[in-house]
Structure 1
Amino acid sequence: MAASRHRRTTIAVAAATAALAAGLVTGCSAVDKALDCFQTADSIADSVTDLQQAVGQAANDPTQTDASLDSIEQNLKKIGDKTDNADVNKAVDHLNKAVDNVRTAIKNGDDTPDLTPVTDAAGELTKTCTP
C-alpha cells in the first residue's frame, strides 16, 4: 500500500513539474517574442531616422532613400512573421502603408515627401511592441 501511494505521489510530482515547465517555456516564449518585436521596432526607428536624413539629402544620393525604405520593409516583415498579436499586425500594416505612400510620392517626383505618417506609424509600432 505504501509503495502504491509513493508511486502515485511520484507520478503526481512528475506531472506537476512537467506542467510547470511547459508553462514557463510558454511564458518565456511570449517574452522572447515581445523582446524580438521591441528590438525590431527599435531597428525600424533607426531606419526611419535614416530615411529622414536620406530624404533631406536626396539631391546628393537618391539611392539612400530607397535603401532606408527597403530596410524598414525588411524589418516589418520580420515582425509580421514572428507575431500573432492583432495590435502589432495593425501597426505593421499602418507602417507598410506609410512606406508605400512615400515610395509613390518619390516615384511621382516629390523630392520631399511627407514623412509624418511614417514616423507616427513607427511610434505606434514601438508602443505595441514594448514588453
Structure 2
Amino acid sequence: MHSRTRRRLAALAAATAFGAVALTGCGAADAIDAVDKALDCATVAAQVAGDVQNLQNAVSNAGNDPQGAATALDQISDHLGALGDKTDNADVTKAVDDLRKAVDNARTAADAGRTPDITPVADAAAGLTKICAPA
C-alpha cells in the first residue's frame, strides 16, 4: 500500500472520529479516546491490509515460490510487533494479538512445508477492521 494511501486512510479515520465526537457531544476524555482509537486503527489497518494482500499473493504463487508465504508471514509478524507497541487501545491491542496468533498458526504450516490456510488470518484482519469501523 502506498504511503499516500496510508496517510489518506489515517486522515479519514481521524476525520470520522472527530465527526462522531462532534455529533454525539462526548466529553473531552471520550473525544480523546475516540481520536486515539481511530488513529491506532488507521495505522494498524493500513499496514495489515498491505501485508494480508502480500500473503494472499504469496499463497497463490506457492508453486512458483514456496518460501514466499513464510516470508510474507514474517513481514506481518514484524509489522504487528511494531504496531502492537504503538497502540494503547485495549480493543485494538486484542485484535492485533488475535491476528498475531493466526499468523503464528499459518507460519507453523508453512514451516512444515504445507500451504498455510490463510482464512484465519483474513478473519482476524476482518475483526480488526470491525473494531476500527466507526460506530
TM-score bin (small chain): 0.5 to 0.7
Q: Which of 27, 30, 37 is matched with 2:41 structurally?
A: 37
Deviation string, structure 1 residues 45-101 (Cα, Å, up to 9, x no partner): 221111011011122123322332122223212331122222111111111111001
Quote the Cα distance in structure 2 between the aligned partners of 1:107 and 1:74: 17
How many residues align? The count is: 108
1:118 aligns with 2:121: yes
Any gaps of 5 or more consecutive residues in structure 1? 1-22
Q: Answer whether contact 2:40 2:89 (CA < 8 A) is retained.
A: no
% same residue:
57
Q: What TM-score, normalized to structure 1?
A: 0.68
Q: What TM-score, normalized to structure 2?
A: 0.66
Q: Answer whether contact 2:36 2:89 (CA < 8 A) is retained.
A: no
Q: Answer whether contact 2:55 2:72 (CA < 8 A) is retained.
A: yes
Q: Answer whether contact 1:51 1:65 (CA < 8 A) is retained.
A: yes
Quote the Cα distance in structure 1 between the aligned partners of 2:89 and 2:81: 14
Q: Answer whether contact 1:76 1:96 (CA < 8 A) is retained.
A: yes
Q: CA RMSD in A?
A: 2.5
Describe the shift of the 1:79–1:128 C-alpha distance in structure 2 as closer, same or farther (beyond 3 A): farther
Q: CA deviation at 1:30?
A: 5.5
Q: Which amino acid aligns with 2:130?
A: K
Q: Which has the larger radius of gyration?
A: 1
Higher relative contact order structure (alpha carbons within 8 Å, sequence separation ≥ 6)? 1
Quote the Cα distance in structure 1 between the aligned partners of 2:116 and 2:56: 10
Aligned 1:52-131 pairs, distance under 5 A: 52-110=56-114, 112-131=115-134
Q: CA deviation at 1:33?
A: 5.3
Quote the Cα distance in structure 2 between the aligned partners of 1:119 and 1:55: 13
Describe the shift of the 1:75–1:30 C-alpha distance in structure 2 as closer, same or farther (beyond 3 A): farther
- Please state whether the residue corresponding to 1:84 is helix, strand or coil: coil
Moved beyond 6 Å, runs of 4+: none
Any gaps of 5 or more consecutive residues in structure 2? 1-26
